[in-house]
């Protein structure tokens, strides 16, 4: 899937992989790639400014954590982030239902004669 | 760090990538360093993951850089965020420092009322009145910018040109503060209590310096 198609949904993807708990940058990338089965053509470096932006908006909070010998910045959802994820999911279901109904119309059930 | 370490780090594609990205970005030093460091650490993690899967280290580094995006590809999204961070900083400096010169101006008799015999010459008052209007407009815009680029922007779109507007508002406000500093210092001999007016002028110079530096940094971000 091309990166242009992903761009509008990046926030939702990041919120979704953080739903289960705090993760650092590379773990977030790995989770997105794993859940998508590697189908997303995403310049993975772009998630870092996105994470910074979402923290500024109050959707995420972050803290430094020691992982082995290195310190990494871990991100987790705030209450506002959980609310935003719920909104993103609802919007995505409505969108796919609407577009799906047009692209792949289900034939009306035939009446029994 | 030894010469060997320096040479090996310089030849490391990840370090080269991080240095190239850092050179392309403008913005608050800490925010920029944090962003570049996170990207560099992520690159090292990606290299380690590829190496664990059996890829040769030099190929793993090249592959990691290709997956992350080149510095040229990453710079626009990083710069956009750094520009907003700098715009917020400039807005905060404006909102916090502008009331100080306004207060100084009022205390030194700039309101036209003879506060403790401090009244300034009428000409100076007329010159000072214009900057006072500029400052009030600047502080209102600064507060609006700070709010519009924070959590409120979850619901309100951030105007594309807002960082440019706040950068130039800061520059104009800094010029106004500089003008008022000069006016207060030059007019102090005509005031009944000239030391108080001269000190007020000198104190206005401090926020002038803070706002001018922050606005200049914001202009650099906008044009980066």
Cβ-in-10-Å burial (0-12, 13-18, 19+) of B138 comes to buried
In a domain, A60, yes or no: yes
Q: Could B80 and A49 be called an inter-chain contact, meaning their C-beta atoms sit closer than 8 Å? A: yes
In a domain, A33, yes or no: yes
CATH of the domain at A41: 1.10.10.10
pLDDT for the residue B113: 46
Helix (H, G, I), strand (E, B) or coil at B91: helix
Q: Could A70 and B41 be called an inter-chain contact, meaning their C-beta atoms sit closer than 8 Å? A: yes
pLDDT for the residue B114: 47
Q: Is residue B105 a contact partner of residue B57, using CB atoms and an 8 Å limit? A: no
Interface test with B, best of A49, A70, A73 (most B CBs within 10 A): A49
pLDDT average, residue stretch A71-94:
94
Helix, strand, coil proportions of chain B in percent (round to 5)? 85, 0, 15
Q: Which residues of A touch B224 (CB under 8 A)?
A: none
Q: Could A25 and B41 be called an inter-chain contact, meaning their C-beta atoms sit closer than 8 Å? A: yes
pTM, entire model: 0.83
In a domain, A100, yes or no: no
Domain segments of chain B as ranges: 3-69, 76-223
Number of domains in chain A: 1
In a domain, A50, yes or no: yes
DSSP string covering B36-82, please? Answer: HHHHHHHHHHHHHHHHHTT--HHHHHHHHHHHH--HHHHHHHHHHHH
In which domain, by residue range, is A77 found? 3-85
Assess if CATH 1.20.120 describes domain B76-223: yes
Q: For A93-97, A108-112, B158-162, B187-191, which range has the lowest pLDDT when averaged over its residues?
A: A108-112
The whole-angstrom distance between A106's CA and the closest CA on chain B is 36
pLDDT for the residue B116: 43
In a domain, A95, yes or no: no
Q: Which positions of chain B have pLDDT values less than 70?
A: 1-10, 101-102, 104-132, 192
pLDDT 10s digits, A5-63: 677 789 999 999 999 999 999 999 999 989 988 888 778 899 999 999 999 999 999 99
Position A113 pLDDT exceeds 70:
no
């Amino acid at each position: 899937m091309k990166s242009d198609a992903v761009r509008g949904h990046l926030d939702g993807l990041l919120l979704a992989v953080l739903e289960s708990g705090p993760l650092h940058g590379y773990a977030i990338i790995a989770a997105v790639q794993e859940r998508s089965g590697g189908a997303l053509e995403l310049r993975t470096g772009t998630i870092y400014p996105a994470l910074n932006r979402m923290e500024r908006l109050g959707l995420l909070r972050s803290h430094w954590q020691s992982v082995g010998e290195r310190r990494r910045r871990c991100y987790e959802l705030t209450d506002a982030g959980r609310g935003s994820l719920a909104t993103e999911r609802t919007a995505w279901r409505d969108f796919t239902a609407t577009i799906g109904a047009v692209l792949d119309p289900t034939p009306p059930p035939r009446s029994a004669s | 760090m030894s010469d060997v370490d320096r040479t090996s780090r310089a030849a490391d594609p990840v370090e080269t990538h991080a240095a190239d990205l850092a050179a392309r970005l403008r913005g608050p030093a800490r925010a920029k360093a944090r962003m570049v460091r996170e990207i560099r650490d992520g690159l090292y993690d990606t290299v380690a993951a590829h190496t664990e899967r059996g890829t040769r280290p030099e190929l793993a580094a090249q592959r990691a850089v290709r997956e992350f995006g080149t510095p040229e590809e990453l710079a626009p999204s990083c710069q956009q965020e750094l520009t907003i961070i700098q715009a917020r900083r400039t807005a905060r400096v404006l909102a916090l420092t502008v009331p100080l010169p306004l207060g100084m101006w009022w205390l030194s008799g700039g309101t036209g009322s003879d506060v403790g015999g401090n009244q300034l010459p009428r000409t100076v008052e007329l010159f000072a009145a214009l900057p006072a209007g500029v400052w009030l407009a600047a502080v209102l815009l600064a507060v609006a910018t700070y709010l519009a680029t924070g959590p409120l922007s979850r619901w309100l779109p951030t105007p594309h040109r807002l960082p440019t507007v706040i950068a130039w508002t800061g520059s104009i406000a800094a010029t106004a503060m500089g003008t008022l500093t000069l006016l207060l210092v030059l007019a102090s001999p005509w005031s009944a209590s000239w030391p108080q007016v001269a000190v007020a002028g000198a104190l206005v110079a401090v926020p002038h310096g803070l706002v001018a530096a922050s606005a200049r940094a914001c202009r650099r971000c906008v044009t980066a």
